[in-house]
Amino acid sequence: MEFSFDLNPIFPERISLLDHHLRLSRKVTYGSYRSDLDEQLVTVINRMGEASAKAQLLSASITTASRMRTNKHKLYVLRDSRANHGRGVVIGFLKVGYKKLFVLDPHGRQNEMDTLCVLDFYVHEALQRHGHGRELFDHMLQYEGVEPRHLAIDRPSNKFLCFLRKHYGLDSAIPQVNNFVVFEGFFRQRPVRGERMASRVFSKKPEQDIKPYSLSVRNGLPEEEKELPWPFNQLTPLTRSNSLGHSPPPPRGRAGDQQEGGAGRRSQGVGGREPVPSPPASQTAQHRRTSSLTRSQIPF
């Protein structure tokens, strides 16, 4: 992603980390922050957010400078300093943050947890599948001191699911009733960081709904589509997408989804992330309105 100004003073490192004040982390930078770069930084964040939203077929950006300021999220930005005649280009970004979630364990018990969540992740279309996503993700894991299985993912796209499976062997999700995805091993050997884990019975409703961005930007959906949380609202007769971890067939040129496998994919409608693979139609019709999913029914 190119800009008319020099990116190198804004992002002095190959991977720079911004906090919710849009300040660079001292741990990953050598220089100090320059206030005159504020405006350019806002421009970059907003452009990156727009590109990510477009790639995920979202109706609005979930990463903007103003959202960054109102949420305690962190933004890892990967740039190439030499490209664009030395002005640099942004290759991609990864946004994470702690959220209080109600997470179901494999026995269906509900646990209230403050957990690190992956909230937005984007690599420029022209640079995907070159290892940049892995570089960003590994950097974040190391900096945050977490293992991939201990993360909660806000409604991962199909590409992201493939990525997680390929690089980190995450392919077996524990069914949830919110839009976050956690994988097997999520509850095992978690680092102690003041995390609250209050076991509750599955049937008890959380005190508050935890809404991922992906829901909050769903402006245009009719009410009936808002009723059910993901993945239940995915359970319409669809063709299953490519199996995870395999390279897809060549691009089919669908707007906003240029690098996807194409076959069997559908737009989720205004505001949704790109769809994840879904169960065969026979299963989906049968389980469209069920209140819980067994492991074999999780749609990937």
Ligand X SMILES: CC(=O)SCCNC(=O)CCNC(=O)[C@H](O)C(C)(C)COP(=O)(O)OP(=O)(O)OC[C@H]1O[C@@H](n2cnc3c(N)ncnc32)[C@H](O)[C@@H]1OP(=O)(O)O
Binding residues for acetyl-CoA are: 121-134, 157-166
Helix axes 158-168, 132-144, angle to 10 degrees: 70
Q: Which is nearer to ligand X, 111 or 157 (CB)?
A: 157
**Residue 205 CB-density burial (10 A; 0-12 exposed, 13-18 middle, 19+ buried):** exposed
CB of 158 to ligand X, least distance (A): 6
Q: Which is nearer to ligand X, 1 or 37 (CB)?
A: 1
Residue positions forming the annotated binding site: 121-134, 157-166
Of all helices (H) and strands (E), which one includes residue 144?
A: helix 132-144
Q: Which is nearer to ligand X, 37 or 133 (CB)?
A: 133
CB of 200 to ligand X, least distance (A): 26
CB of 274 to ligand X, least distance (A): 6
State yes or no: cis peptide before 191, omega within 30 of 0.
no
Cα–Cα distance for residue pair 244/165, rounded to 1 Å: 7
Contacts of 292 (CB under 8 A, 6+ apart): 108, 175, 177, 202
Contact assessment for residue 248 and residue 292, using Cβ atoms and an 8 Å cutoff: no
Contacts of 169 (CB under 8 A, 6+ apart): none
Q: Which is nearer to ligand X, 138 or 147 (CB)?
A: 138
Q: Which is nearer to ligand X, 200 or 254 (CB)?
A: 254
Nearest CA-CA partner of 57 in 272, 277, 278, 276: 272
CB of 153 to ligand X, least distance (A): 5
CB of 188 to ligand X, least distance (A): 22
- Tell me how far the alpha carbon of residue 219 is from its chain's centroid: 19
Residues at the contact surface with ligand X, assessed by CB under 6 A: 52, 55-56, 118, 120-123, 128-134, 153-154, 156-157, 159-160, 162-163, 166, 245, 247-248, 259-261, 273
CB of 226 to ligand X, least distance (A): 20
Work out whether strand 15-18 and strand 180-183 pair parallel, antiparallel, or are unpaired: unpaired
Contact assessment for residue 200 and residue 108, using Cβ atoms and an 8 Å cutoff: no
Work out whether strand 110-123 and strand 198-200 pair parallel, antiparallel, or are unpaired: antiparallel
Residue closest to ligand X (Cβ): 133
Phi, psi of 111 (to 5 degrees): -125, 130
